[in-house]
Amino acid sequence: MVRGSTSRRGYGTKHQRIRASWSPKVAAGLVNCARCGQPIEPGRPWDLGHTDDRAGWTGPEHRVCNRRVGGRNGAAVTNAARGKTVRTSRNW
């Protein structure tokens, strides 16, 4: 009888497969971090990042960036956005 043990592996397998598909591009230095936007240098540790609702994947991220969001979600994004908001000159 099937006891459903194998069906629970889908998430991990998919994650591995997506990560593997990114791997050659990251190794070639072609990918920017999905969190901070900086290039991921070849050989640098990286993780496959999740969207905030965990419904999908954002793409490769520096491992430090990925770990950083674990505690406080999206603080870097908030800070980056704050610097840009004060530009409302409408002289026309």
Query: Which residues sit opposite 47 in a β-bridge?
Result: 61
Q: How far is the CB of 35 from Zn ion (least distance, A)?
A: 5
From candidates 33, 46, 48, 59, binder to Zn ion by CB under 5 A: 33
Q: How far is the CB of 61 from Zn ion (least distance, A)?
A: 6
Q: Torsion angle, CA of 69/33/35/52, rounded to 10 degrees?
A: -80
Q: How far is the CB of 17 from Zn ion (least distance, A)?
A: 23
Decide: is 62 part of the binding site for Zn ion (CB under 5 A).
Answer: yes
Angle at the Cα of 55 (from 51 to 61), degrees rounded to 5? Answer: 30
